[in-house]
C-alpha cells in the first residue's frame, strides 16, 4: 500500500488533482498546542480530546481514525509524509514518524517538502497552500527517503518534545539529516518560546512589538506576525491565544 500523509484538510482538498498514487491520510491535529500527556496512545487520545473540548467519540471519528490507517498499514507499505518546514508541521511530523517507526513491519518512508519554493520566499515556511498540481508533483518527485537513523531521530524528537525536555530537543537538533533540513532553526524557535530566565517568550515579544508600534487590530496583527515569524506555522487559533495573553493578560 502507498499512503500520502497530509498535514491538514487544506492540502487534502487540492491533492486529488495531482493524480499521485496512493490512499490519503489527513492529520487533523495541532500538537504544537495543549496537553500531550499519556503513557500510551489511548491515554494520549483522551488527553487530546479533552483539550479540544470534544467527546472521545468525536475525536476518534475526526482524528484518531486517520492515525489508525497508519497503525493498521500492511507490511511493505510506503508512507509519503507531506509536511512543511515550520514548527507546527514538524511537530506533527515527528509524532507521525514515532507511530510509523514502531510498526512491526517493513516499510518505506519519504518526506515530501515544498521544494518548489525558494528559501527566500515569504511562503517558504508554510508553502503547500498556494501550490498548483504541477508544483505538488514536483515536490513529490523530490521526496527524501528516511533512513532507519532518520526514523529514530524523528521518534526521539517527538519524545523530547512531548515531555517538554528542551535540553534533549536541542541535543537531537544537532544531528545533520537531509530529512530534517532546518531542524536547528525550528528547535531554536521552539525553545525561544520558553526562556529559562522567566521572561516572555519570543512570540509574545513579537506580538507586543506589533501591537505597540503597528496595530492592535487582530487581522493586521496576524498578517504582521506571519510575516515576521512564519517559522512557527501558527494558525489563527495559536496567534489569537497569544494575542489575548498580550492584550488582556489571559
Note the Cα 33 to chain centre separation in Å: 11
Average pLDDT over residues 64-69: 98
Per-residue cell: 98: 514515532
More confident residue, 127 or 11: 11
Share of the chain above pLDDT 90, in %: 84
Q: Can you list the positions of beta strands (E) in 104-249?
A: 107-112, 144-145
Q: Are strands 107-112 and 77-82 parallel, antiparallel or unpaired?
A: parallel
Rounded-to-integer distance, Cα 98 and Cα 71, Å: 11
Question: Which positions ≥6 away from 119 have C-beta within 8 Å?
Answer: none
* Chain segment 20-35, per-residue pLDDT in tens: 999 999 999 999 999 9
Q: Contact at 8 Å (CB) between 27 and 92?
A: yes
Average pLDDT over residues 57-64: 97
pTM score of the predicted model: 0.94
Question: Which positions ≥6 away from 36 have C-beta within 8 Å?
Answer: 44, 47, 48, 161, 162
* Chain segment 85-105, per-residue pLDDT in tens: 999 999 999 999 999 999 999
Q: CA–CA distance from 93 to each of 19, 42, 222, 226, 236 (Å)?
A: 23, 19, 24, 21, 20
Amino acid at each position: 500500500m502507498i499512503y500520502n500523509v497530509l498535514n491538514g484538510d487544506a492540502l487534502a482538498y487540492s491533492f486529488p488533482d495531482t493524480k499521485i498514487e496512493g490512499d490519503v491520510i489527513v492529520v487533523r491535529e495541532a500538537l504544537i498546542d495543549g496537553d500531550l500527556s499519556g503513557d500510551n496512545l489511548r491515554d494520549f487520545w483522551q488527553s487530546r480530546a479533552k483539550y479540544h473540548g470534544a467527546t472521545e467519540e468525536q475525536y476518534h471519528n475526526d482524528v484518531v481514525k486517520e492515525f489508525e490507517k497508519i497503525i493498521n498499514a500492511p507490511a511493505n507499505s510506503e508512507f509519503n509524509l507531506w509536511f512543511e518546514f515550520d514548527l507546527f508541521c514538524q511537530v506533527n511530523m515527528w509524532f507521525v514518524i514515532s507511530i510509523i517507526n514502531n510498526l512491526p513491519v517493513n516499510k518505506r518512508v519519504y518526506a515530501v517538502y515544498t521544494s518548489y519554493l525558494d528559501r527566500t520566499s515569504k511562503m517558504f515556511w508554510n508553502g503547500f497552500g498556494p501550490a498548483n498540481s504541477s508544483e505538488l508533483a514536483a515536490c513529490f518527485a523530490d521526496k527524501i527517503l528516511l533512513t532507519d537513523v532518520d526514523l529514530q531521530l524523528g521518534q526521539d524528537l517527538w519524545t523530547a518534545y512531548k515531555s517538554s525536555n528542551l535540553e534533549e530537543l536541542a541535543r537531537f537538533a544537532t544531528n545533520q539529516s537531509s530529512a530534517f533540513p532546518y531542524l536547528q532553526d525550528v528547535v531554536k524557535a521552539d525553545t525561544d518560546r520558553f526562556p529559562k530566565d522567566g521572561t516572555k517568550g519570543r512570540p509574545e515579544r513579537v506580538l507586543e512589538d506589533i501591537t505597540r508600534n503597528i496595530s492592535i487590530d487582530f487581522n493586521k496583527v496576524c498578517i504582521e506576525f506571519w510575516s515576521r515569524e512564519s517559522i512557527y506555522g501558527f494558525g489563527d487559533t495559536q496567534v489569537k491565544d497569544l494575542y489575548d495573553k498580550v492584550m488582556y493578560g489571559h
